[in-house]
Amino acid sequence: VGYEVLSELPKEQHPSPMLSLDKTKDTEQLAAWLGEHPGLLSWKMDGLTIVLTYQEGTLQKAVTRGNGQVGEVITGNARMFDNVPLQIPFQGELVLRGEAVITYSRFREINESLPAEEQYKNPRNLCSGSVRQLNNEITAKRNVELYAFTLVEAEGVDFENSQKNKMEFMRKQGFQVVEYKLVTRENIAETVEWFSDKVKTNDFPSDGLVLLYDDIESVSYTHLTLPTIRL
């Protein structure tokens, strides 16, 4: 493996702003918001959002979310993530967003190896520092994982107006996709309860759930804060 050391991380403006999510703690509001639309409910991972760009099947660029308009180019570091494919079958231009995270178990291992004054407060802070290293050999040792959650572009592919089809397309390209479930206003409450139970034992950090319409043309997002988050 060829590691690299940079003097700084270059900045780059995103083609379109990466906006924040609307928030709620009320599942009844989610049901009303869905209406007649089927939706996808998934984890809101608590890490660092990364935008990956592939051309001719090869990872060309990785940029952090930054302030939503300008991010930092961390391509060399992204190549060190445990599960980011450097090559994919799709040969057109592909752009996706994913969340870089470090598991709770790996977070504890790393903290135990550090002096008390150098230990990290939580996995998110450790992940942020790991992803933004100037020496990507350090990134490689941190075992950062990426969960794809949004396919921004896949040149020339017809997804039949379905976000689910986009998610499955990313999975077939070799990406680890954030866990999601199809929901309607009739089953949203019980599905939220399922996620609320599971978050207590997950090894990855999450600070809520994301709900979006399956209908691409009517795409909209909202964020539900879960009442119980593992610390």
Q: Which residues are catalytic?
A: 44
Distance CA 109, CA 222 (A): 34
Beta bridge partners of 223: 23, 210
CA 154, CA 95: separation in Å to the nearest integer?
A: 7
182 within 8 A of 138, measured Cβ to Cβ? no
Q: What is the DSSP string of 19-58?
A: PPPEEES-HHHHHHHHTT--EEEEEEE-SEEEEEEEETTE
- Residue 63: phi and psi, rounded to 5, are -135, 135
Residue 220 DSSP symbol? -
Q: Are strands 48-55 and 94-101 parallel, antiparallel or unpaired?
A: antiparallel
CA distance 47 to 74: 15
CB-CB contact of 100 with 146 (8 Å):
yes
- Helix ranges, the chain (H): 27-34, 75-78, 104-112, 123-131, 136-141, 163-172, 188-198
Residue in this structure with the two tokens 């199809």, named with its chain if needed: 182
